[in-house]
Structure 1
């Protein structure tokens, strides 16, 4: 999709950055690095696609779209088995950059501690026992009462990839409120989502991902996939996440709609980048 078409389609008119040869060289070197840890591809924690290739793709997005820097303090909410963390080990400064990953599932956290923290001590992983009906049904911390174990304004960059795609709307508001609390002024959130705009709702192109045949849930902002568990894939009315980010004190700097709806894009899910108000550019 051309930059002009993308600006016309997105509600937040933002120009995507030009390709960066230095970033592309870094991403290529990470893809070829056979010494980086990689879990068994059959692990239930890995998810769809190539562990290495997907992580490297997102590192490029974090740098070029999100503006993460080598000296950033990064929080990865729902870090899983380290798909985003492994490529970041090759980008964050060993002394100045810091990474914190949280997840409710102990198996992924244990793998990350064993294979990442043991080599990169500036990468820390913590299990937070957040209840989720699919991933942690016996969790003791309600998503509606979430308060993450970090000080206000501690982070420069927060990652939420494939998180709001598995949350009900009331919990989305709580998570984003926490993100607003944890980011420094000027710090940024990088978040992926399924935005059910008019194209996705009507499936006008007839090419939408068949796995995401969303249907509206009553009169609320949520869209679920019939015949799947409710939180297996969650879409939201266009505008719901924009308003939730605003309520959390976060100003959208980029809203780029993804290829899942059957239109050309360089990423699958929809991407939001939002900045904590009160800081510089």
Structure 2
């Protein structure tokens, strides 16, 4: 199903059969109860609120149910942090065909992942990208809008950016979309979370955060004193950033940040690289 953000956002059909859904739900329960899986000390989790393992398991469900993630996929996690999404994926991705690369600008998170995940799961690898960011890596040597990740063309089937576009200006979202287009194999998918500002969102009493107009047209800040702590975009800006680099938006699932019912907080966008998957 094609779904351009600039048009009416439709509901979409489930990607999983009942049997696949039952198996995924069972797996998620097992992972959440498995206390032998790596987990950092709570005081070392430098991004995101809530339970480390529970949120990772929740997003495993979203990656599969909404994004169409498969066990055989070659996966790139942009903004992997301290491995919150990587840990449940160690139990989902196929040991012989699936693989995972995680990148992040925060050295401490990458160090923890390389010391605690990679030795047990060698197909899970992590590297620091020294990108400048006013909240997470002030002294970074690389400008975000010029990002080039250290991987070969068409080397991934699935790329995800969870809580990344919510902390980036529009030109950097374009840069990551460009890299996703380069790095995805034909038919590959980009899974991105964002705050999409749609008509009526800002008037709802239950919306969290409460966005106000930002400096640039079409941008909205949750906190004007720290614009990149939570940044939202009018939907046409996200559409332009993704479509302008050659990707095509296939699915949109709206989050409950705006005070409406949803299974997830941020909005989810799934885009594909044109071409037939091999």
**Normalised TM-score (structure 1):** 0.91
Residue number in structure 1 paired with 2:77: 76
Partner of 2:142, secondary structure, is: coil
Q: Give me the whole-angstrom Cα distance separating, in 2, the residues matched to 1:195 and 1:58.
A: 19
Structure 1 residue 218: Cα displacement: 4.1
Q: How does 1:114-153 map to 2 (within 5 A)?
A: 114-153=115-154
Residue number in structure 2 paired with 1:207: 206
Q: Give me the whole-angstrom Cα distance separating, in 1, the residues matched to 2:224 and 2:252.
A: 30
Structure 1 residue 232: Cα displacement: 0.5
1:11 aligns with 2:9: yes
When the two chains are superposed, the root-mean-square deviation of aligned CA atoms in Å is: 1.7
**Normalised TM-score (structure 2):** 0.92
Q: Alignment length, in residue pairs?
A: 269
**Contact 2:144–2:172 under 8 Å retained in 1:** yes
Residue number in structure 1 paired with 2:174: 173
Structure 1 residue 130: Cα displacement: 0.6
Residue number in structure 1 paired with 2:239: 242
Q: Give me the whole-angstrom Cα distance separating, in 2, the residues matched to 1:117 and 1:44.
A: 18
Structure 1 stretch displaced more, 248-257 or 104-113? 248-257
Q: Give me the whole-angstrom Cα distance separating, in 2, the residues matched to 1:244 and 1:188.
A: 15
Question: What are structure 2's unaligned runs of at least 5 residues?
Answer: 1-6
Q: Give me the whole-angstrom Cα distance separating, in 1, the residues matched to 2:274 and 2:11.
A: 18
Partner of 1:126, secondary structure, is: strand
Question: What are structure 1's unaligned runs of at least 5 residues?
Answer: 1-8
Q: Give me the whole-angstrom Cα distance separating, in 2, the residues matched to 1:83 and 1:70.
A: 18
Structure 1 stretch displaced more, 220-229 or 147-156? 220-229
Assess, with a 3 A threshold, how the Cα gap between structure 1 residues 165 and 257 changes in structure 2: closer, same or farther: same
Q: Per-residue CA shift, 1:137-181, capped at 9, x if unaligned?
A: 110110121111111111000010000000011111111111111
Structure 1 residue 202: Cα displacement: 2.4
Structure 1 stretch displaced more, 271-280 or 182-191? 271-280
Assess, with a 3 A threshold, how the Cα gap between structure 1 residues 250 and 140 changes in structure 2: closer, same or farther: same
Residue number in structure 1 paired with 2:184: 183
